[in-house]
Each structure stands twice: as C-alpha cells, then as structure tokens.
Amino acid sequence: MFKLKNAWLLTAFLSFHGMGLAADWPQFRGPGGSAVSTEDNIPVQWSAKDGIAWKVPLPGRGLSCPVVAKDRLYLTSSSGYKESRLHVLAFDPKNGAKLWERQFQSTGNTTCHPKTCMAAPTPVTDGERVFALFACGDVAALDRNGNLLWYRSLATDYPDITNMVGMASSPALWKDVLILPMDNAGDSFVLAIDAKTGKNLWKLERPRTINWTTPLVADHVAKGANVVLQTDNSLVSVDANTGKEVWSISTTGPTTIPSPTLSDGLLLAPGKETLVLDPSNNGNAPALKWKSSKLVGGYASPLVHKGVVYGMSSIGLNAMDARDGKEIGQIRMKGPFSGSPIIAGNHLYLVNEEGTGYVVKLGEKLELVYTNELKDTILCTPAIHNGKMYLRSDSSLYCIGNAAK
Amino acid sequence: MRPLSVAVACALTLAPLAFAWQDAGNSQVTAYIKTLEMIGTQGTGSQEAQKAWKEISQLPPSNLVQVIAALDHQKPVFANYIRSAVWAIVQNSQKNNKPIPTQQVRAFLKDSKQNPSARGLAMEVLKSLDGEWLASEIPGFLADSAPELRREGVAYWINQAENLSKEKKAEDAKATYKKALAKASDKDQVDKIAKQLKGLGENVDLGSHFGFVRKWNLIGPFDNTKGVGFKTKYLPEESVKLDASLEGKEKEKLKWVSHQTEDPYGLVDLNKALGKKKDSVAYAYTRIESPNPAKVYLRAGCITALKVFVNGKQVFAREEYHHGMSMDQHAAVIHLDKGVNDLLIKICQNNQTESWAQKWEFQVRLTDEAGVRVPYSIAMEGGK
C-alpha cells in the first residue's frame, strides 16, 4: 500500500523554503501551505490609521486570501444579488494599483451560510498564471496579464455537487497539475485539471461529506509529487500525476475545517485530535509521533516551525514541542479566528474576525508583543511579500507596512 | 426638455446605430465568437477558445457592442468568456486612452429585443463609464424584461418611496411601494417593500406574490433508515390515489392528509403536519392547473434530501441533509401541460440528533426564468 521515498520530506522542505519563490506567497497559507515565510522584516505594529502602506476598495466580499507572486497580487471577490458575480483581481503589491479585473457570473448554486460567500477558496498562482476556484464550482485560469486561459463550470460538468453551507477548500498546483478539492455531500471528488488546457487529468471519488480542508502538495523529485487529502475519517495521499493512492490512514482525529501542513520534518493532520506524523517512515505511511486536542479551536490550521508546533485552542495560542507534544507555551487571545496563524521571521501573526492582529515574539518563551486593531472584519489568513503583510476584508484590501518602502 | 424626454429623443436618434454594428460586424470577430461558442463540457475546446478570447480582448472599443451582443446566458461558460472579454476590452481601451463608444452601448441597452443578460452586461459597462446617463434611465427600467435592469428600476422606486415616507407622505409612499412591488421578484427587494408597507398598514400576500404552492396532500412516514428511502420507490412514486391507505414505516397504515400552509413563504412543516419522525420519507402531492403549456422554473427550498416529480417524471433530486435552507436554493426547469399537472415532492429526513438537525420542511414555487411567478391554480379535485 505504501511507497514513499525518504527523500520527499527533504525535497518538499526545500521546495517550500528554497530560493526560487522565497518571497512569493502563491497559495492558501503561503509557500507549500506551510504558513511560514522566509522573510523577517515584516511590520509588527499597525492600526486602522497607522502603519498602512495602502488600502484599496474591493468590488465584493470574500474569505479568500491574497496571493502574491512576481509582482502581482491576486484576489477574488463575489458580489451582487445572491453573490453571483465573481471577480478575479490583480494588483500591484507595491502601491495597490489595480492592474486588471475580470468578472464572471456563477454557473453553479450560490446558496451558502451567510458568513461565507462564493469567494471563499483562495486562488493559487505560479507567477505566470493564476487559478481561481469559486464556491459555486466555477474555475477561471488567467495569465498574469489577465488573459483568460480557460474557464470551467464544475457545476455544469458535475451537476450533483451539493454543499448548502458553501464550499471553501482552496486549489493547489503542482507544475501543470491543478488540484481542485470538491468534497461535498453529493458528487464528491478531487479533480486534477491540466493547467495548460483546462481538461481533466484524473478524477478521484471522495467520501460524500462536506469538507473545507485544502489539499497539500508534497513534492518529491524522483516520482513527481503526492497530494495529501484530509477528511474526518481518513488521511489519503495520492500521486499527483495519476490520482492513484500512495498511502492512506484511517483515523478519526482530523476534521474537515483546518488543513494539513507539511513542514519542518512533520506532517500535521489537524482536528479535534491533531495528529503529528513523521512522513519519512521508511517508505510507509507517515507514522504517528504524538497527538493533541489542544491545537485546533475553530477554523485555524496549526503550523510547525523550528521544532515547535503552534495551534489555536479555545483560549488562544498553544505551542508544543514538535518532538513529543510537550506544552511549552500558551498565550490567551480573543477569538473567534477564521484565519490561521502565520510565521515570518521571529514573529507569529494572527488576526481575529474583528480585525485584531496579534503579534507574538517567538523564542524560548512566547511573548505577545503587540495587539493591533484594524477595526474591520477579517476572515482571511495574512499573506506576506517583500516586507509587507496583506489582509482583506469584505470591502478593502490592506497592505500593512511602510508606504515609502 | 425633461431628462426622460431627452433620453427618449436620444435613443430614437441613436436607434440606427443600434443596428449598425450588426451589419458592420467584423466577420473575423464573428469567427472568434463562434469559436468561443464551441466550448463544451469538461474543458473541450478550451485551447481554441484561449486564442479566440485573446483576439477578442484586444479588439478596439469600436467592436465592444458586437462582443456584448454575443452574450447568451443560456450558454453559461461561453457567456463567461464573453463577459470577461468585454471587461478586457473596456480596461484595455481605458488604459490606452481610446474612447469607448458609449452612445452605441446606450442604444444597445435600450434595445429590448436584445438578449436580457447582454443588456445587463451593457448596463454594468455603462455604470463604470456613463453613470450619469444611466442614472437618468434607471427609473424607466421598472418594467424592463431584463431582470438585472428591472432590479435597478425596483431599487430606484423603493428609494423614492423611502424618501416620500421620510417626508411623511404616507399615501404617496404606499403607492410608490406598490408600484415597485408590482415588478419586484427578488426576495430581498420584495421583503423590504412588504416590511415597509406593513408599517404603512398594508399587508402583502407574499405567498401569492412569489407563487408558492400552498395546498398539498401529505403522506408519511415511509422508511429512510440509513438513507434507503431516498432511492426506494414507494407507492406514491408509482401512482397517487388520495383515498388509498398505504403501508408505511414499521407497517403503519398511512392515509393522505390535506394540508394548506399559512406560512407567508409557503413553508410546509412536516414535523407539525405528520408528527416528528426520524429516518423517514414523506410525500407531498398537488395538482397544478396551467392555463397554457409552459416552460416553468420550479424553485424549492428544503433542508433535507428531496426529489421532485412532475407528471410522473423525476425532474430533480438532491441528497443533502441539514446544511442550510433558503428560498430558491434548488431549481429545476419543468414543462407544464395546459390543464392539470401532477406535482409530487419526496422529502427525506435522516437520524441526526443535533438540535439544529431536526427540521423537516420544504417550500415550492413556480416562476419564470427571472423568478416572477407564473400563472397557475391548484386543482385538487379531479386530475389527469
């Protein structure tokens, strides 16, 4: 059942943290979905009035996060009656100038919980192209200049997709394989699309349950890449080229909201019991190192950095030793949090739904160094790029940093 | 001249322009559009469309209306290629300081023979380019056949009524709200008007306005343990005999019961009508009398799994439980014969125990494509 190469852990780490895209934040939770930036000069203090390099209005709502690559910041929004108008936007991350905007109309059902909307999934980019998945199953592929490469209506192709709460999983990209997570209560699947042509590569049937986790792409040079899929009863890894299962773990610990993370030599499968797994298990499925019920409280996904696992509990941030799960720190924070924590340099950043941004200095002892009030509803995870932090609300896109820089 | 007169005069003057672009349509552009129109399911035709889209997006603004006119909402993927190309032309023209022929776009917008969605797109373009002129036209959109234009018209007249209300001109406000209500079909606008009219002493029959089916015959429970009932064809799916006694779950003898909902949104609460049951299936049956053969949009709200049958044929199925309910969350295009048509709804309940997973209810209405109720009556006696 299991065919893993020991090398994939190392190569995955290098690809997430290597030089090529070091400053880019190309997908949900940044490089490789690790939620860790290599940059260390990110602002730690801001408010609604100060420390904002620029702020621009958005044409609609969204829970999707900004993504940034090769001097383009991409974002999605939805607007209009029944949230049926879909927007893909490109900005200059230096000054917030809107470079282009493309509008589409939803081709699928836009029914969803009022807290969410059609612009819930975060787009993914490789710098040359951006792929925007919307909760209604519309997928737009555009180049960096806004040229439409292809458009898919998954609701037309697969009309039994159904999720009345609203889809929110974000797409992942490996080379020219675009992974679209469409776990839902009806025709449930993960679809791999040829990023160049928009045509199907493979379609994997999935459990018929709604699921908001984002797939994890784990590179390994020799054989391509694996795609790790989490739901509430399993963790499955499939070959990115074929969709064939590489390994699977039946488990009840992980849940259907926070997403898995592969970073720092560990695979985290978060949920009511977050599994901390060793992915380099002699070619077998990842082995359980330890588990904890104190790393997920709400929607936020945990992360691991420099030997410490960070996650949210019902009272705030928890830090645990990555080796054995020993608790090494806790900071009380006021939730709720829809976004997830990220790390840049020696600081952990986390913004709650009221727009309160917590900045925690990392070290032997965790220290909450700043609490920043943006006074806007923030449901996204911050993006980091070139010394700035980007946040979006339902009405604005913020660049936090020094305007002159 | 009053603004409206100016607008009409302007439109008449520009009318020839509205047709000029059709005759002068660049055949190459037409070929590009045809290529986009060939887009199929599952990405077929995407590579050819990619090239055609790029060509179209780089057209000069003089071709803008030709591209807008191609939009056909019945082909939703194609429509999105067109929609995005239109915005690309607009943005490229602005970037390169090329004037956009707003007069032509105006004429197209005012041509009610054009595709309603294409006119909606023209309106969006004008919002960004020609807002002042558009604002002067919006009051006249109240009865427009294009839903997007009509929505703007309704919003304008709601606003007018609100202003009259603020000025304590209650009767004028009431009349203006009614004027808006007569053409309103979107739930948010209708609800807003109904609330304001209620405050002014007028009750709106929302069920009638929206076209909800309110008179049913109900029967249940049939077994849905482990979800088996969704696929099981119980007797009502074979034929409906309202005086028959059927064997239900746990061999219970079941009879059809007549039910008329008083809920303003046509909600039928099965827990109240049939008793609170879990792992169960209920059927709701009625006879719809249509004055004409008609293509109709059956719109349903249901928080659990449901199937819809019209004249014995299944037209919709959705197996999802307790993930949310909203008016019109489901839609099926159906055909009604002239005269009496059988409408059967199958509503399934599962065994979730959470407090938020106890509802067992549905609502159904019959509308046109834009959500406006279609003419029909309930014919519970007789039938086909």
Query: Per DSSP, what are the bridge partners of residue B363?
Result: B301
Residues 221-280 of B with CB under 8 A from A: none
Task: Report pLDDT for A314.
Answer: 85
Distance from CA of A82 to the nearest CA of B (A): 10
Residue pLDDT, tens place only, B93-144? 999 999 999 999 999 999 999 999 999 999 999 999 999 999 999 999 999 9
User: Which residues from A are below 8 Å from B370, CB to CB?
Assistant: none
The verdict on A193 touching B (C-beta cutoff 8 Å) is yes
- Under the banding of pLDDT at 50, 70 and 90, the label for residue A13 is very low
Would you call A164 and B320 a contact, using CB atoms and an 8 Å cutoff? yes
Distance (Å, whole) CA A381 – CA A339: 4
Phi, psi of A284 (to 5 degrees): -100, 180
DSSP A105-120: E--S-----TT--S--
Distance from CA of B298 to the nearest CA of A (A): 15
Task: Report pLDDT for A404.
Answer: 53
Task: Report pLDDT for A224.
Answer: 79
Q: Return the half-sphere exposure (C-beta side, CA atoms, 13 A cut-off) of residue B139.
A: 12
The verdict on B338 touching A (C-beta cutoff 8 Å) is no
A201 pLDDT more than 70: yes
**Mutate which: B38, B59, B83, B359, vs A, most A CBs within 10 A:** B83
Is residue B259 a contact partner of residue B216, using CB atoms and an 8 Å limit? Answer: yes
Distance (Å, whole) CA A87 – CA A58: 10
Distance (Å, whole) CA B377 – CA B336: 12
Would you call B324 and A107 a contact, using CB atoms and an 8 Å cutoff? no
Q: Which residue has better confidence, A17 or B184?
A: B184
Distance (Å, whole) CA A17 – CA A25: 11
Distance from CA of A306 to the nearest CA of B (A): 40
B146 pLDDT more than 80: yes
Burial B114-138 (b: 16+ CB within 10 A, else e): bbbbbbbbbbbbbeeebeebbeebb
- Under the banding of pLDDT at 50, 70 and 90, the label for residue B2 is very low
- Beta-carbon contacts of residue B69 (< 8 Å; ≥ 6 apart): B21, B22, B108, B114, B115, B118
Distance (Å, whole) CA A371 – CA A317: 14
- Under the banding of pLDDT at 50, 70 and 90, the label for residue A222 is low
DSSP helix/strand/coil, A392: strand
The rounded percent of chain A whose pLDDT value lies above 90 is 86
B247 pLDDT more than 80: yes
Whole-number average pLDDT of chain A: 92
Residue pLDDT, tens place only, A368-404? 999 999 999 999 999 999 999 999 999 999 999 987 5
Neighbours of A183 (CB within 10 A): 24
Is residue A334 a contact partner of residue A352, using CB atoms and an 8 Å limit? Answer: yes
Task: Report pLDDT for A280.
Answer: 84
Distance (Å, whole) CA B117 – CA B148: 7
- Under the banding of pLDDT at 50, 70 and 90, the label for residue A219 is confident
Would you call A111 and B320 a contact, using CB atoms and an 8 Å cutoff? no
Of A102, A160, A164, the CB nearest to B84: A102
Q: Which of A242-246, A279-283, B81-85, B250-254 has the lowest mean pLDDT?
A: A279-283
**Any idea how long chain A is?**
405
Task: Report pLDDT for B24.
Answer: 39
DSSP A65-89: PPEEETTEEEEEEEESGGG-EEEEE
Is residue A386 a contact partner of residue A93, using CB atoms and an 8 Å limit? Answer: yes
How far the first Cα of chain B sits from its last, in Å, is 59
- Beta-carbon contacts of residue A367 (< 8 Å; ≥ 6 apart): A360, A361
Q: In chain A, whose CA is at the least distance from the CA of B186?
A: A81
Distance (Å, whole) CA A129 – CA A127: 6
A177 pLDDT more than 80: yes
- Under the banding of pLDDT at 50, 70 and 90, the label for residue B380 is confident
Q: In chain A, whose CA is at the least distance from the CA of B151?
A: A81
Of A103, A162, A210, the CB nearest to B83: A103
Residue pLDDT, tens place only, A48-96? 999 999 999 999 999 999 999 999 999 999 999 999 999 999 999 999 9
DSSP helix/strand/coil, B94: helix
Residues 104-163 of A with CB under 8 A from B: 104-105, 107, 109, 111-113, 138, 140, 146-153, 156-157, 160, 162-163
Helix-helix angle B116-129:B147-166, to 10 degrees: 60
ipTM surpassing 0.90: yes
The verdict on A198 touching B (C-beta cutoff 8 Å) is yes
User: Which residues from A are below 8 Å from B76, CB to CB?
Assistant: 105, 107, 153, 156
Rounded to the nearest angstrom, the gap between the alpha carbon of residue A187 and the centroid of all alpha carbons in its chain is 23
Residue pLDDT, tens place only, A40-49? 899 999 999 9
What is the average pLDDT across A130-146? 98
What is the average pLDDT across B268-273? 98
Q: For the purposes of burial, counting CB atoms within 10 Å of the CB of B357, is it exposed (0-12), middle (13-18) or buried (19 or more)?
A: middle
Taking alpha carbons only, the member of B210, B7, B2 closest to residue B109 is: B7
Task: Report pLDDT for B9.
Answer: 46
What is the average pLDDT across B254-262? 97
Task: Report pLDDT for B127.
Answer: 96
Task: Report pLDDT for A297.
Answer: 78
Task: Report pLDDT for B17.
Answer: 43
Q: Enter the pTM of the model.
A: 0.91
B288 pLDDT more than 90: yes
Residue pLDDT, tens place only, A341-355? 999 999 999 999 999
A5 pLDDT more than 80: no
Would you call A185 and B321 a contact, using CB atoms and an 8 Å cutoff? yes
The verdict on A183 touching B (C-beta cutoff 8 Å) is no
Residue pLDDT, tens place only, B7-65? 444 444 444 444 333 433 588 999 999 999 999 999 999 999 999 999 999 999 999 99
